[in-house]
Structure 1
Amino acid sequence: MTSSTDSSSGARPSLWQHRDFRRYLSGQAASVTGSSISSMVIPVLAVLELDATTAEVAWLTFLGQLPPALLALHAGALADRHSKRKQMITGDLVSAAALASVPVAAALDRLSLTQLMLVAAVQGAAGVLHDAAAISLLPSLVDRSLLQRSNSRIGGLFAVAATAGSNLGAALTALLGPARALLGDVLSYLVSAWCTARIQAPESPRPAAGDRRLHTEIGEGLSYVSGDHRLRTLTLVNATTSFALALLNTLWALYLLRSLAMSAIAFGVVLGLGALGAAAGALAAPSLAARYGPGPMMLAALAITPLAQIPLLLASSGLVWQFAIGAALFLQLACAGAAGTTQRTIRQVVTADGMQARMQAVSTWLTSGARPVAALLAGGLGTWIGVRPTLVAGTCLLIVPLVVLYRSPLRSLLAMPPPAPTGPTVPHPSVAVDVRHDRSSEGGS
């Protein structure tokens, strides 16, 4: 693993003096901004330009969400086997090429909904390849003692970039039209690829794959995560939280805009407050974890999250309730940002170099696979029992990750656990379990 060669040798080196981290952060922020442009523009393009039906819009969303559920484990195994930077660049260039085909087809008056669905699927698959490598590359760029601060900066910047991307997408759509607005996302992928190509730090050495099959390495990743109680607990927390929030988010916009008669401007302001909350939570995470301990801080964040849903469930139309909903969303996403940044750091710290991508892929696979199922469940329950009762059910589901963490020894973790050994050798899963459980007992509460 490579620590910063650009920072001074003080006790608290500045991440902003770390050239490779700046390049990594700039590239990923550009990618997030561009993805937010597409997330805003593609539905507009489908509905307003191609007259898509409700079912066709649902299919478009489904095809965009399907690749992470199908390919995350394979992408993680490939990232641990090959160069992570090359995989990131490949994903960026494939996404750029797929999106560039949309304005070209629109200019030729040949754009169809089928092409848009294919682009969504290809972009989703390329995004899985990129993200699996990008998240697991960070521990090889900075020393593990800096991971908490690094993830904090990343989480805060990404929340702002996502909001900026949505606003930029709206502006580009107004100026250029929805098809040409996607050129903003094409440019963002090219910027991301260029920044990634300029990273100079060597990656962690990889063991030779030999004649081992990819599914064998995928199995090692699953065993590795399930064999370590810390990774297993945090992955289950992620998956159950993702399922509950996906159920809520499926109906949230419909509930606010239709049931509570919230205007589009007020809805945008509420979403902006949520993004600010996510950024604030991510930036505050290192200080909160240092003061209260990572375990108690995450437990408190998970306990506050369902409570923050109460204003939404009790709300009626009116300006006062709009302020209450905005404040509640700020608090909820601040908790999500703080807990998410901390749990990601713990998982990166305790995972051996050769398993970073596969460890992350297991979490991505479970969380991504939960979202389409939750969306279908939300649609069914919303039709059967109504929107508000379905939101109540989703709020109750947010208690599940709290229970999972509370029943784990991680709830009393007062300091970051000791890092896993670094080096090219990936221990056999059964050996890794024994060693890591011993380290857990030494560095627990």
Structure 2
Amino acid sequence: MTITVPTAADSVWRHREFRSYLTAQAASLSGSAVSTIALPTLAVLELHASSTQVARLAFLGQLPSFLVALPAGALADRYGKRPLMITGDLAAAAILATIPVTTVLGTLGLGQLYVVAVLLGVAKVLHDAAAISYLPVLMEPRLLQQANSRIGAVFAVADTAGSNVGAALVGLVGAARSVVADIASYLISAWCITRIRTPEPQPGPARRRVTAEIWEGLAYVASHPTIRSLILALSACSFALGISNTYWIFYLLTALHLTPTALGVVMGAGGVGSFTGALLAPRIARRTGPGPMIIMAFATVALAQIPLLLARPGRGWQIILALALVIQLFGAAAAGTTQRSIRQIVCTPRLQGRAQQTSTWLTAGARPGAAVLAGALAAGIGVRPTLAIGTVLLTVPVLILYLSPIRTLAEMPTPVPAARECKEHR
């Protein structure tokens, strides 16, 4: 038995609460893109941070995705997801509000920015853990793929717009004042979530420690062939891209001599690929089957990396690189929205948060190791061979998925029956 394909009358845009959910997520993401630019700019221009201190700030901002992801998933399964989303948004707004306040008082320092980066990361992980596992509560299983497709498309626009607005705001009003836009975005997100009235299943009483619930989630993912294969592929892809991305911009600027403007055009073109890939993913999956489509999309991500290895300085190669990035992010978005829908559909409802955050934990954990390995490889064999190794490693997730049950998935799977869920819970 498979999920019924939604008709035109089943458009997710007809669901008012989905619109509130999507508006909240888009507002939060666009605001975060502003602070992603504002915080390092503030550190460099106002506090005269060194390159090492800027790198430390970036590292601390990414650290919670690895350290807090698993506990956040357990909390999302133990408590109401909607209150956790609101709590995460309000906490993020309060944390960021300390920056303009201390700037006015003249007490802002690098130490505070480090603390803000960590606490803001924790608040965002808490919100995201609840948000991704809340979507299956809002939407019927047959609408999940369409919902994730629309979310991916809107996120591509919101992220690009947020980065552009962030750069403009920093130039117009300064880095500290531009943070106010991010504070407002979190408040808007919290307000939109309060408008959602769909009741979610009440979690059972907490009888065990959080660590026991975390282990239960890890064991569940390890024992589920479909979820395990998808998460392993995502982690392998994250590791391979982490090697390449460590020197991606450096290579474009130094070896290929791109100007900052040309770099911005190339990177901006990728947003078009993300938008269209997310939007067209359901249609492609219906024609090819979601399993084969995901495998082909991961293969596209690897193949689109090849032009970077062949490129030489010149306008023609810049155009080729921009097109390659469009194709690569098209594949990444198409695979991302589809695999997320599959995981949400087949996952036991009471383990949604932990299963989704296991993916966050593994993919986030792969990046620091990839960066360290990339540094060692570049020092030993050079940047171009390091990029080549990253490209070769992008074939690993394709192999993982080809040897998994994903290869035979011709239609979206059947959700976990309520009777089976009750049996697993006892």
Q: 1:309-328 counterparts in 2 under 5 A?
A: 309-328=305-324
Q: Is the CA contact 1:352–1:426 (under 8 Å) kept in the aligned structure 2?
A: no
Alignment match, 1:344:
340
Q: 1: CA distance between counterparts of 2:85 and 2:243?
A: 30
Alignment match, 1:250:
246
1:48 aligned to which of 14, 22, 45: 45
Alignment match, 2:81:
84
Q: Is the CA contact 2:81–2:134 (under 8 Å) kept in the aligned structure 1?
A: yes
Q: Is the CA contact 2:38–2:179 (under 8 Å) kept in the aligned structure 1?
A: yes
Alignment match, 1:207:
204
Which consecutive residues of structure 2, in runs of 5 or more, have no partner in the other structure? 1-5
1:260 is displaced (CA, Å) by: 1.2
Q: Deviations over 1:311-330 (max 9, x none)?
A: 11111111111100000000
Q: 1: CA distance between counterparts of 2:73 and 2:286?
A: 31
1:204 is displaced (CA, Å) by: 2.3
What's the Cα RMSD here?
Answer: 1.6
Which consecutive residues of structure 1, in runs of 5 or more, have no partner in the other structure? 1-8, 432-445
Q: 1:11-410 counterparts in 2 under 5 A?
A: 12-209=9-206, 211-410=207-406
Q: 1: CA distance between counterparts of 2:346 and 2:421?
A: 15
Q: Is the CA contact 1:205–1:423 (under 8 Å) kept in the aligned structure 2?
A: no
Does the C-alpha gap of structure 1 residues 361 and 427 become closer, same or farther in structure 2, counting only changes over 3 Å?
A: farther
Q: 1: CA distance between counterparts of 2:163 and 2:54?
A: 19
Q: Deviations over 1:243-298 (max 9, x none)?
A: 11122112111111222111111111111111110111111100000000011111
Does the C-alpha gap of structure 1 residues 53 and 427 become closer, same or farther in structure 2, counting only changes over 3 Å?
A: farther
Q: 2: CA distance between counterparts of 1:107 and 1:280?
A: 43
1:208 is displaced (CA, Å) by: 2.3
1:47 is displaced (CA, Å) by: 1.6
Q: Is the CA contact 1:68–1:125 (under 8 Å) kept in the aligned structure 2?
A: yes
1:38 is displaced (CA, Å) by: 1.1
1:409 is displaced (CA, Å) by: 2.2
Q: 1: CA distance between counterparts of 2:100 and 2:245?
A: 30
Q: 1: CA distance between counterparts of 2:100 and 2:141?
A: 43
Q: 1: CA distance between counterparts of 2:10 and 2:90?
A: 34
Q: 2: CA distance between counterparts of 1:31 and 1:426?
A: 35
2:331 alignment partner AA:
C
2:339 alignment partner AA:
Q
1:79 is displaced (CA, Å) by: 0.5
1:390 is displaced (CA, Å) by: 1.0
Q: Is the CA contact 2:80–2:202 (under 8 Å) kept in the aligned structure 1?
A: no
Does the C-alpha gap of structure 1 residues 427 and 103 become closer, same or farther in structure 2, counting only changes over 3 Å?
A: farther
1:302 alignment partner AA:
F
Q: 1: CA distance between counterparts of 2:142 and 2:187?
A: 31
Percent sequence identity over aligned pairs: 54
Alignment match, 1:5:
none
Which is further off, 301-310 or 24-33? 301-310
Alignment match, 2:3:
none
Q: 1: CA distance between counterparts of 2:174 and 2:126?
A: 30
Q: Is the CA contact 1:352–1:422 (under 8 Å) kept in the aligned structure 2?
A: no
Q: 2: CA distance between counterparts of 1:320 and 1:129?
A: 44
Q: 2: CA distance between counterparts of 1:359 and 1:19?
A: 27
Alignment match, 1:6:
none
Q: 1: CA distance between counterparts of 2:381 and 2:54?
A: 23
Does the C-alpha gap of structure 1 residues 217 and 282 become closer, same or farther in structure 2, counting only changes over 3 Å?
A: same
Which is further off, 368-377 or 390-399? 368-377
Q: Is the CA contact 1:36–1:165 (under 8 Å) kept in the aligned structure 2?
A: yes
Q: Deviations over 1:208-244 (max 9, x none)?
A: 22x2111111111111111110011001011111111
1:427 is displaced (CA, Å) by: 4.6
Q: TM-score, normalized by length of structure 2? A: 0.96
1:18 alignment partner AA:
H
1:345 is displaced (CA, Å) by: 0.5
Q: Deviations over 1:68-99 (max 9, x none)?
A: 11111100010101010111111111111111
Q: Is the CA contact 1:204–1:424 (under 8 Å) kept in the aligned structure 2?
A: no
Does the C-alpha gap of structure 1 residues 270 and 426 become closer, same or farther in structure 2, counting only changes over 3 Å?
A: farther
> How many residues are matched?
421
Q: 2: CA distance between counterparts of 1:423 and 1:358?
A: 21
1:423 is displaced (CA, Å) by: 7.4
Q: 1: CA distance between counterparts of 2:134 and 2:20?
A: 12
Secondary structure of the residue aligned to 1:111 is coil
Q: 1: CA distance between counterparts of 2:379 and 2:111?
A: 28
1:11 is displaced (CA, Å) by: 6.9
Q: Deviations over 1:27-78 (max 9, x none)?
A: 0000110111111221211122212112111111111111111111100010
1:380 is displaced (CA, Å) by: 2.4
Q: TM-score, normalized by length of structure 1? A: 0.92
1:104 is displaced (CA, Å) by: 1.4
Secondary structure of the residue aligned to 1:365 is helix
Q: 2: CA distance between counterparts of 1:222 and 1:427?
A: 19
Q: 2: CA distance between counterparts of 1:181 and 1:427?
A: 51
2:389 alignment partner AA:
A
Q: Deviations over 1:288-311 (max 9, x none)?
A: 000000111111111121111111
1:412 is displaced (CA, Å) by: 2.0
1:413 aligned to which of 395, 406, 409: 409
